[in-house]
Amino acid sequence: MNHLGTKLLETNRLILRRFVVGDFQDIYDNWASDAEVTKFLMWPTHRNTDDTRTFFSSLIEKYSQANLYSWGIELKELGKVIGNISVVGLDEKVESVHIGYCIGKPWWNKGITSEAFKAVIKFLMEEVKVNRIESRHDPRNPNSGKVMEKCGLKFEGILKESDYNNQGICDAAWYALLKKEYFKLVE
């Protein structure tokens, strides 16, 4: 893989960018403190901005690493971050990345997460040169799977009681997109 780090990406409505210190309040207000948003995530709902500051301060320090990919999703019309999308797992041997994402509730069902994910897929496939992009979700959160399908990932199966989130042990529905499939889609 050709690691390039978290580069600025832009779509019609979005700027995908590195988080900065000034984002802490927006992160907390827009998604990290909302138990409904974090219901199926693997990190707990933030109780206060100190939780947010601690979590993202460590991330900001790691941006110098070329193999770190973590974007704030900024809605251009607001000029604020409303969610995030990141490579949460990376396997060099098989040139594979695992993507995780979340977005604040006011922006659900507006195609924003899919728009962000498609930009990340294009960057990872065409510039970083990954072979496989994968993601998973709790089947009780079917909208997350719809995002994956809209972005070209194919359903691979459900692993029973193989994962955990804020609801406890759960099933995991896996999706993936291979490089050869991606380049057929964009031809």
| Per-residue pLDDT reduced to its tens digit, 90-135 | 999 999 999 999 999 999 999 999 999 999 999 999 999 999 999 9
CATH numeric code, 9-186: 3.40.630.30
CB-count exposure of residue 65 (10 Å: 0-12, 13-18, 19+): exposed
| Per-residue pLDDT reduced to its tens digit, 14-47 | 999 999 988 989 999 999 999 999 999 999 999 9
Domain locations in the chain?
Answer: 9-186
Assess contact for 43 and 36: CB atoms under 8 A.
Answer: no
Residue 178, beta-bridge partner list: 132
- Separation CA 71–CA 85 (nearest Å): 5
Nearest Cα neighbor of 141 from 46, 36, 34, 33 is 36
Two tokens at 5?
């780090």
The residue type of 60 is I
Locate all alpha helices (DSSP H) within 124-178, ordered by sequence: 142-150
Two tokens at 18?
């590195």
